[in-house]
Structure 1
């Protein structure tokens, strides 16, 4: 049994570290969401910020955009050129994806400074890519409303998760301790 543990020590360490970090950050995020109820930023500060920044981005693309709190659910309604097209919900703020990203990077950590820098820069890139994704999704819905299911359920999740996957691959191949352990 001990021989098996030694053989898979790196895998076990990765899985345990990943799970502990993921559960820890997810729990903290859950508390953040609980304590955000009733704040002046609806539905929570980060989702509100994403909606505002998406509004600026869409207006920058030349669309007349308005964002309103949804009266029946915790979301922000996105109205493009007078047409209600989408909602920005808590799941659209990229925090869950960033938590997943950070958990992986920490589980495959490298030097402390490099790890922290990559987490910070990667999180900013994911956040920015997510804003662009929401804006492009809204524009695509405006021009191709019949493609809503494919765009929402396949294309745009593939974009954000594909981007995160590329960041992971870059990290493992360039900076993680796993790379230095095998050299």
Structure 2
């Protein structure tokens, strides 16, 4: 049994780091979200509201008339594009859960601390920018093709964000992690 744990020690360390960081950050995020849970008031958390405002800025930059309204019956922001209600921005749209997953994986395959922190910060910024652009493009697509909502929202746009994160992970593991150093030798 001892040999078994010794043989697969790197795998167990990876799992411990990954699930430890993932659980820790998820708990912190849940505490953050608890501040906005009120039984009679539908309050949108600050980060989600910020994402909605940034999406509005992108759409206005692309010469679309975009108005944001707080939803009356749920914690979300209605996105009105050219006087048509096309989408709503909810907590799940802010990509923080995707960023938590990204961070947990990078830490689990950690390298030296400075490159690890740098890659995490850069990755989170890039994920955030891509996410804002993704929501803006999804809103435009829904404006022109509302009948394609299920494929656009359920397949195409999640594929973009998760595909990008997967690409970042590949770059991290092959270029910067301790694993990359061992395989290069």
The one-character-per-residue Cα deviations of 1:7-30 (angstroms, maximum 9, x if unpaired) are 111111111110000000000000
The RMSD of aligned alpha carbons is 1.2
For 2:160, the equivalent position in structure 1 comes to: 159
Which structure 2 residues correspond to residues 142-157 of structure 1 after superposition, within 5 A? 142-157=143-158
Mark the runs of 5 or more structure 2 residues left unpaired by the alignment: none
Q: Which residue of 2 aligns with 1:97?
A: 98
Gaps of 5+ in 1: none
Structure 1 position 181, deviation (Å): 3.0
Q: Which residue of structure 2 lines up, in the alignment, with residue 87 of structure 1?
A: 88
What are the within-5 Å matches in structure 2 for residues 1-183 of structure 1?
1-37=1-37, 42-182=43-183, 183=185
Greater than 3 Å deviation, 4+ residue runs? none
Separation in structure 1 between the aligned mates of residue 36 and residue 119 of structure 2, nearest angstrom: 28
The CA deviation string for residues 50-106 of structure 1, in whole angstroms up to 9 with x for no partner, is 000000001111100000000000000000000001000000001000000000000
Question: With structure 2 as the length reference, what TM-score do the two structures score?
Answer: 0.95
**What is the TM-score when the length of structure 1 is the normalising length?**
0.96
Tell me the distance in 1 between the aligned counterparts of 2:173 and 2:53.
34
Q: Offset of 1:36 from its aligned partner? A: 3.5
Instruction: Give the conservation status (yes or no) of the 8 Å contact 1:94–1:130.
Output: yes
